[in-house]
Each structure stands twice: as structure tokens, then as C-alpha cells.
Structure 1
């Protein structure tokens, strides 16, 4: 949304969310099925004090790439997902499901600790010696892998899932406790519309897909052009002569000179994650790859600057809307 339209968009979102909140605060006709206001749903969920305290600032800066400036980081995307969960529960409650958000699900700690704000800690293999010393090549599995929202009546889980997707896997009509029809695109799409009224609808099967040669649709929090260019720049980095030279130095340092492998595939041929991380540093591999990707991305940014900036403005508005939903 170029120019002043982005400001109008942000104001419109704020007004729309304020109206939704006011409407939700009206007394519920059936307290056994209604979930109440957004404030009630998010009242015990506080904004993290300093989520980036879990990261390594020096490593984050060292591995920073230009395209990261045009997308949302892991914490910001997580914030949007949590707001989507709240809006999903609102939608399910309106259909008569006794639904609630699982705040313990979708933890931020593992993402930021092991992958960093932009997933860069693992982009070139294990890049943190400290993490390699504690966890090797792997990461610990958390206890929060469940659904980010739940329904109280287990027998309604399948129907609630269909209402969420807006698609019946049995091919019939989706039965809701209230008897009301599921809104277009399901509660998942309705949650997206609560953060961006222009969010694209899913296909008939409830999923978003891309045609041949096309990017995935940009639903809240996502920037498909950035994701696509990040893939292109990584491939360009692999072909860079300086990276290839540094890769040979890494193999010699790690005792893997006879292998056709880089730090990203080290776990397939060695169990020594610490040595791999140390050698990625001392061989110059990390810096060479970042330099190669930075050079490639600077040209990409120049070519796609208007598109990248337009979507970033939309992302900022979506993030602001998400924070409003969460009461932050």
C-alpha cells in the first residue's frame, strides 16, 4: 500500500478492532459456549519482557542479511500467530464451540535460542559454539507441540477443525453447535481478515497454494517475495568462489577433507558439532557466505525495492493490529 494509504490502513484496522472488542464485551447469551471479550481471553497472557534476551546479539549482527529488514523476525511472526489464535477462538465461539487459546503452545524460547531472530543461527550449519557444546547438532524438543487452540468437548474436535479450515474432509456440511454456517474460508481466514482486511482467501480445500511460477499468497506475517529471494541468494552464495574456498578450509579444519560436504551437512558425516561450529568460524566460512549473500541481496533489493517496501508497510500494520488484539 503505497503512500498515505498505509496510514489509512493502520487507522482502519485500529477502528475495526476497537469495534470488534466493544461488540465482544456485550453480555453473552450463553456463558457455557461464549468465550467473552478479547480482553478476557488475553487477560493472563502478558507481553514478553525482553524476548531477544534469549539470542546472541553478536552472532545476530554478524549473520545479518539485507533482506531481513523487509520481513518480520521470529518474535514478530510469533506475535501475529498468537493474535490469530485469539481471533480463531472468537470465530469458533460464535459458532457455538467452547474454545480457548492454549497459551503454553507455540513457545518462543526454542525458536529464538536455537535459530535467532531471523533463523540465521542454522542457515550455514550450526554457527554457535555455545549451543553446539550444549545440544550438539540437535535442539531439545519442547513440551508445547499441541494445538494452539482447543475445544472443551473432545467429540467436537473434528467439527471444530473443519470449521477452522472452512473445509469438510467428509465432503458434507460442517455441523456447528450453534447451527450457523461456517464463514467463507473458515475461522482461519476470518482470523487473518481481523489482522488485514485484504488478506487473500484460501482455496476450496482450506489451503493457500501458488500457481506455477507464482509466489505463495501473503497471509498475515508472511512475505513470500523475501522468502523466495532468500532462497535465491543462498544458492548464489553456494556458487561463490570465496565460499567454495572457505568450505575447503572448513573441511580441512574439521578433518573432513575427503568428503563432499559443507557445514550445513556436517551432521551426516561427523558427530562433532563443536568442532564443526568452531571451524565454520575460524575458516572464514560464515563471513564468506554472509558477504556473498549480502552482495547478491543488495542487487535484489534494488530490483524489487518498491514491492519489498510496500509489503513491509503492510506487515507493520498487521503486527500493530496483532498487538492490539493481544492488548499489548
Structure 2
């Protein structure tokens, strides 16, 4: 399954961190790349859940969650359309929790790469792509959201309609039925090793040389950044945009500024001109293969765990057909 998100976490301080497509049904067109020349190719992805398996699990998860929600008194959700599988619920706005949303897609593993996307969306192209692939077609009430996810802020009630909400909500209960335990309660070796591969890769001399070539290209365009990550997270640009927001009552904080778009476009063009993505992807693939060889046992265990869950999900759907 092409990874689309990190997990949503609600903190006691009233801060929510979310990401697009959490455990959502992957688009049918989002097939796993098989060529190492494709910058989306990941050797470790072979040990992840396949797209077909993910769709089966997603449908079974929501089928069980609907039954759980009806048991909690949400009779109107008995006929909830689960084809396609709904996006992971987002907490309603203005409910006492500040939501900070982090968007992540494997397609952007090495940052913004398409100058056209950058010119339109700035560094928010991944957000735009997430919303295109995983449109949130339903707005949930707070009680529905809490019952589905069990993601409580400090003042949230842990009961609804006189019933106690299960641990991690109805979706968490469904996951425990499918997987035997919640995926949130166990370490995912695929995600862990993909993260380690990036961390090790960025320390590789060839990766640093690619950063230097990209940085030299950016200097010619009028920017001084050591790495693409520095450009994407520039605090000086953020401060300037906050000033513009205060000075202009019509400023839309959800729309990237002209400066962000211009910077992101230069970033993507320099990646293309220096062959940045091709270089760092080759390093990433090499390191992933090394990590794979050292961790094959636990990766095989993860693959079996995923396959078992997919078979269980298939049986659940068969029983209800």
C-alpha cells in the first residue's frame, strides 16, 4: 500500500495532529511501482499491505464500525455508504481542539518535484494531492467522531447515548477484530525502516553532494538554502507571511503566498536541472535493500500479519454478503 499518512494523535493539551488518508482506501490507479527507475519505487513496500488487501481491510473495518455505531445508538449510520471506503474521520472545527494537519505521500518522499504543481500549490502540493485522492465527503458531528475514533481531548465525554465508547472507538474495535490487536499498538517495521533509510541516506556523501548541487542552483535563482528541507520549512518565510496576514484582512492563510509558490517552483526546477531526485532515490533504494537484508525476518512477519488480516477481512465481508 502506498503510504499516505501518519497517524492522528489528540493530545491532552487540546492539540490535534492529523494526516491525510489515514488508513484510507487507496485509489485503484495508485498501483505500486515495480521499476527501480521510478522515484516512487521502494524495495520495502513489498512487505507492506498490497492495494487490494488494503481495500479489503478498509471495507471490512467500516462494515464492522457501522455495526458498532448502531450498537452505540447511531441508527442513521446503518446505511452509511462504504464504497468507496470513507476517509479517516476528522474532528469537527470549533470543538475546543487546535488541529495541526500534516500531509504525507510517498510521491513526495523527496519533496516537491513538479514545477507546475509548485507554481500552483507551493509546498502544499502534497496537501492538494491528498485531498484529491482522499476527498472527505462527510462531515462528522463531534459525538460521531469520538465514537468512531475514541480520540479524546481533555473535556470530551467518553460515553455516548448511555454507552461507553470502545478503546480507540468503533474503528479501533474493528481493527482489533481484523488484526487481533490495534496496528497503533505495534511497531510497523516497514515504516520504521523507510524512515531509517532516509535518515541514513541524508548522511551519505553522494546525497550531500546532491544537496550541494541543488543549493548552488538555488543560489543562481536568488535563494540561499543548504537543503530542500530548509526551503520547504523556511521560518523567515513563515514570519513574512504572518506579517502579510496581519496587514491584509483578506489574506487567506489556506492559500500559499506568492513567495512560497515562487520558492517551491525554483526548488522543483533545481531538482530537475541537477538530477536530484534520481540521485537520492538511488541511494535510498540501496540503503533500503541493505536494511531489508538485515531485517528480513521481522519484515516477513509483518507481511504474514498483513496477509492474515486481509484474509480475516475477506471472511468478514463474505459472512455479511
Q: TM-score range by the shorter chain?
A: 0.5 to 0.7
What is residue 278 of structure 1 aligned with on the other side?
269
Q: Distance in 2 between matches of 1:320 and 1:128?
A: 39
Partners in 2 of 1:122 and 1:199 — Cα distance? 30
TM-score w.r.t. length of structure 1: 0.58
Distance 2:158 2:69 in 1: 16
Largest Rg, 1 or 2:
1
Matches within 5 A, 1:1-328: 50-52=28-30, 61-72=38-49, 77=54, 80-100=57-77, 101=80, 105-106=86-87, 119-139=105-125, 140=128, 142=131, 144-145=135-136, 150=140, 157-158=142-143, 161-162=146-147, 165=150, 174-176=159-161, 186-196=169-179, 198-200=180-182, 208=184, 217-218=185-186, 224-254=188-218, 255=220, 259-267=224-232, 268=234, 271-322=262-313
Mapped partners of 1:290, 1:134: distance in 2: 25
Q: 1:74 to 1:250 in 2, by over 3 A?
A: farther
Cα distance in 2 for partners of 1:95, 1:274 equals 49
How many pairs were matched up?
245
1:199-248 deviation per Cα after TM superposition (whole angstroms, max 9, x unaligned)? 149xxxxxx5xxxxxxxx23xxxx62121212211111111111111111
Structure 2, unmatched stretches of 5+, are: 1-24, 89-102, 238-259
Give the match's secondary structure for 2:159: coil
Structure 2 counterpart of 1:23: none
Residue pair 1:92, 1:99 contacting (<8 A) in 2 also? no
Greater shift, 135-144 or 307-316, is seen at 135-144
Q: Deviations over 1:9-53 (max 9, x none)?
A: xxxxxxxxxxxxxxxxxxxxxxxxxxxxxxxxxxxxxx9984238
Residues of 1 paired with 2:224 and 2:263: CA distance? 15
Give the TM-score normalised by the residue count of structure 2.
0.59
Q: Alpha-carbon deviation of 1:264?
A: 3.2
**Cα separation, 2, equivalents of 1:168 and 1:120:** 30
Q: What is the CA distance between 1:314 and its match in structure 2? A: 1.6
**Pair 52,169 (structure 1): closer, same or farther in 2 beyond 3 Å:** same
Looking at structure 1, the residues matched to 37 and 166 of structure 2 have their Cα atoms a distance apart, in angstroms, of: 42
* Cα-to-partner distance string for 1:111-160 (whole Å, 9 max, x where unaligned): xxxx9xx9332111112345335534323384944767x5xxx6xx5387
User: Structure 1: which 5+ residue stretches go unaligned?
Assistant: 1-46, 108-114, 202-207, 209-216
**Alignment partners' CA distance in 1, 2:106 and 2:231:** 17
